[in-house]
Structures are given as C-alpha cells and as structure tokens.
Amino acid sequence: MILHVVLFRPRTDVTEAERRGFAAALTEARATTPDVLHFWVGRRVVEGPAYLMSGFPDFPYAAVVAVRDRAALDAYLAHPAHDALSHYFNSTAEAALIYDYEVGEPDALDFHR
C-alpha cells in the first residue's frame, strides 16, 4: 500500500469561497477516484505531547490518501478530480510538504533499502 501524505499550511488570507472550493474539490477527489482506498483530512492536535521541534515549520493540516500500489497512485494523480484539487491546493497553500510512503507490516521495515 502507498500513502500519499500532504502536510500543508494555508495562506492567512484564504477567502470563504476558496475554502469552500477546496473542501468541495477534496470531497470530489475522494468520491470519484476509483483507485483511492481511503482518504483522510484533518487538523493537527495541539494539546498533549509536544512533538513540534523548535525551528521547524508548522503544518497545521494534513491529507492522507491510501492506494494499493504505484499504478493506483499514478492513476489518482492523473485523475481529473485531482487536477481540480491541485488547483485549489496550489492557490490556497502558503507552504506544504508532500511525500509518498510504501507501507506494510512493521517487520518489513528496512532502513537500508
């Protein structure tokens, strides 16, 4: 399985119309992309353990998309619903980190690969 992980910080001047458009694009991408197994979005929990290390940028929002394999990730990224999502993401994000992770059982972890 591959997790497409997006950490992001929206611009401080995002309008309500942009926010609604972004939310609609997220919903559309989740609903219409057949290769997506799971799609989560959320806001960082700030109470509790202090995971933030000083000097590192803050990304208060995350989106995680789970797909079966590389072919499914490529299909998701090429899907028209992802194009619309990319438009809203790029126009509202101040900063972001995007990574893809191949995940599996803990005993399959290999730091040397």
Span 41-55, average pLDDT = 73
The full length of the chain comes to 113
Task: Single out the residue of 108, 105, 70, 89 nearest to residue 29, CA to CA.
Answer: 89
pLDDT at 111: 78
Distance of alpha carbon 106 from alpha carbon 110, whole angstroms: 9
- Higher confidence at residue 48 or residue 38? 38
- Residue 10 CB coordination number (10 Å): 17
Which domains, ranges and CATH numbers included, belong to the chain? 2-47+59-104 (3.30.70.100)
Task: Single out the residue of 68, 69, 84 nearest to residue 32, CA to CA.
Answer: 84
Within the chain, strands assigned E span: 2-10, 36-43, 61-67, 93-102
Percent of the chain residues past pLDDT 70, beyond the cut:
91
Output the pTM of the full model: 0.86
pLDDT at 110: 78
Task: Single out the residue of 36, 39, 44 nearest to residue 10, CA to CA.
Answer: 44
Task: Single out the residue of 62, 4, 7 nearest to residue 33, CA to CA.
Answer: 4
Span 38-55, average pLDDT = 76
- Higher confidence at residue 107 or residue 103? 103
Query: In the 3-class helix/strand/coil scheme, how is 49-61 assigned residue by residue?
Result: CCCCCCCCCCCCE
Q: Is the pLDDT of residue 16 over 80?
A: yes
